[in-house]
Structure 1
């Protein structure tokens, strides 16, 4: 018998260590910074917004809620656009619209106009999370995709922390309008970086051969974004995103772990300003610097997943989150801040792992799967973050920490469905 040989690997996807890989990661980190700096830009200036419009604190806080709601609600719309027009193009248009709205937002004459502009800005921002991880999953070689996704996710806490600090410092100079304007300028710079640095996508859907039949391997959710002949329609892609084994459990990780994380960050300021700590508002706001641990967690998650697999990293990060939550019960400030660093590191490690896993498993309907993951992520932030506040009002800080720990426990139980997943088709 004649021995058969394996065909050579002609995979043209990007590999770590190449210049194109580094440029791609740098461009995607830039869009992550732009997205989350602008999304959270109003959070540190809510008191100034309330004073400026004569509104209550809860009304001013709606400027955050409507933006996150708009982002979550429009991710599916953006995912369909990404399939049709291309991932990179949708990311660029999303950031351009966001920046344009950011230029108008400081001119809002009343609270309702500001809320409307923030809702539109959140809807515009939805294009980035709907397309970014899907783009990396398709452009980067599978051996390096988890690492690239982890570096992209690291841009989330960098943008969130930097945007909050930038807005706070700018608002001290010229009011809340300057805080928003400063982050709009940052978003514009990041958009320019993305457009100039991102290499031309390599994995465009193959052209049909002369016979007119689709090229082998072509499919409708290809990275070029154009629907290939005979590719699945939007309904089939969405159905696949909902039914592919493992994906619903990964969406649940985003919902539950983000809910636990936001419960802590929504309430920690009240804890630090109350007894026994008694910190000032400005000192308490420095807690956002703990997001640096999130950058580290996101960056190392891809390396750890590539070495040990997604499930061990995800379950270890969830357990580490629970340990960090336990440390938040201390009355020693140094111990509390150490526990917060552990919690933040573990959450972003889990988030980077789960989101990269979604991108790897969603062979059909990848953009829709990432949109559903993003929807679950922000639903957890708004729903469970609000529920955690109700628990805090009823039984105090200890009850809120226990509530967050319960969400982590449920996430671990749901995660058992991820233990023995077969490889993606």
Structure 2
């Protein structure tokens, strides 16, 4: 018995020592970056991508962990589906508003400091939301979570475009977006499975703790900016920066794509749980959470699409992934649950590929006020999530899943028209 105890203790000590050594190595790599761009395979690339991956992971974990909980929240607070969806919509709505502020702030104060504060604050507000006794209190804290996360969302893509060697921006953006997909999957999976065993408040508290750990690692691993040039923070500079991007031939259409694609994506995941929990499926809440495994397809597709775009050009392949989303949506209209799951998988694959291409496209077209370019893209992205995600509730009451699917199809057809008729012609 003593020998077994000593062996176990020794094994734990070795694991702890290995983890500490790995952490030290990442920090050392982050510290030895020279004045040039961060290149794939060179010191600094690995800690940079791991840190940004964790930031993206935390963002989507914190935002979308409430999606599988919406039916539970409807029962806990005696509210309907559209009202329950506000737990997500207020967060994404405030995130969208915050993006217009935090982008310019990062142009003046720096990238890493703004992102670090954002992640810490969002984790803390999530822990407080778990303790709120009233629905209004939960919504206020969820709104603060969204507002805080705008500090990372507005800046991360700009940091990548400033610090990563241009040859690897497409791949790096894809890896960053894959953190979003894994975060969204994990948030839904953790909350969807845990809520079958523990109260929803404990579920949110666990997710808040996970996000807090991720924020600490982000701060330790992300290298300071080397190519950041401060831009004075005043309203004239802010407005002129916004005006520059709206005069561009492609930017306004990329912003519109963000609104349409994200609106359709969030609407599907908001209301698919209500469909599967009802007759004739009557699946468990845990199985609804397991549906988020479909996000793994987005983890691969975002990196793959970025690499593909580096070789062939975004304008040639972007619209194809919107067609893929439409195909996936059509498959969800069939009754067998196996086909519904396949449709969700195809839809998710296409969405993350399209989002990866569009977000990287914005970064490449922005020649000045890059933080504001990212802010405008993500403002449209999360505004689509907030507006369409809530409107989908009206279509659910009007026509069930077929009503929701019709609403999503309208959004995607508009996105396809913009992509095929306009963005495809851009240089």
Q: TM-score range by the shorter chain?
A: 0.7 to 0.9
Q: How far, CA to CA, are the matches of 2:417 and 2:71 in structure 1? A: 40
From 329, 335, 350, give the equivalent of 1:331: 335
Cα distance 1:49–1:398, how it changes in 2: closer, same or farther (>3 A)?
closer
The residue that corresponds to 2:22 in the other structure is: none
Q: 1:300 aligns with which of 300, 304, 312?
A: 304
Out of 234, 239, 243, which is 2:243 matched to?
Answer: 239
2:179 to 155, 175, 189: 155
Cα 1:336–1:246 change in 2 (3 A) is: same
* Structure-2 separation of matches of 1:51 and 1:387: 20
Change (3 A) 1:380 1:25: same
Distance 2:122 2:219 in 1: 15
| Aligned twin of 2:424 | 419
Paired residues of 2:301 and 2:353 also in contact (CA < 8 A): yes
* Structure 2 residue 120 is the aligned partner of structure 1 residue 116: no
Map of 1:114-193 to 2, 5 A cutoff?
Answer: 114-193=138-217
**In structure 2, do the counterparts of structure 1 residues 29 and 126 end up closer, same or farther at CA, with 3 Å as the change threshold?**
same
Residue 319, structure 1, aligned to residue 323, structure 2:
yes
| 2:27 is aligned with 1:23 | no
- Distance in structure 2 (CA, Å) of the matches to 1:22 and 1:39: 26
Deviations 1:69-93 (A, max 9, x none): 1111111110111101111111001
- 2:405 paired residue number: 401
Determine if contact 1:48/1:175 at 8 Å carries over to the other structure.
no
Which residue of 2 is the match for residue 219 of structure 1? none
CA–CA separation in structure 1 for the residues paired with 2:62 and 2:352: 19
Q: Distance in 1 between matches of 2:126 and 2:396?
A: 34
| Change in 2 beyond 3 A, CA 1:306/1:285 | same
Unpaired segments of 5 or more residues in structure 2?
1-33
- Output the CA distance in 2 between the equivalents of 1:334 and 1:43: 21
Q: Secondary structure at the match of 2:68?
A: helix
Corresponding position of 1:309 = 313
For 2:145 and 2:154, locate their aligned partners in 1 and report how far apart those are by CA, in whole Å: 15
The structure in which a higher percent of residues are helix is 2
- Do 2:193 and 2:290's aligned partners in 1 also have CA atoms closer than 8 Å? no
- State which of 380, 383, 386 in structure 1 corresponds to 2:384: 380
Task: Point out where structure 1 has 5 or more consecutive residues left out of the alignment.
Answer: 1-9, 206-225
Question: Is the alpha carbon distance of 1:63 and 1:274 closer, same or farther for their aligned partners in structure 2, counting shifts above 3 Å?
Answer: closer
- Determine the structure 1 residue equivalent to 2:225: 201
Question: Is the CA contact 2:196–2:286 (under 8 Å) kept in the aligned structure 1?
Answer: no
Question: In 1, Cα distance between the equivalents of 2:395 and 2:60?
Answer: 27
- Structure 1 CA distance for aligned equivalents of residues 422 and 216 of structure 2: 42
**TM-superposition CA deviations, 1:277-336 (whole Å, max 9, x none):** 443443333222211111111121210110111112211111111121222222222222
**Aligned alpha-carbon RMSD (Å):** 2.4
1:380-413: CA deviation from partner (whole Å, max 9, x where unpaired):
2222233333334333433432332232221121
Distance 1:36 1:367, change over 3 A: same
Contact 2:107 2:231 in 1 (8 A): yes
Paired position in structure 2 for 1:211: none
CA distance in 1, matches of 2:279, 2:342: 19
Residues 44 and 419 of structure 1: is their aligned pair in 2 closer, same or farther, counting only changes over 3 Å?
Answer: closer
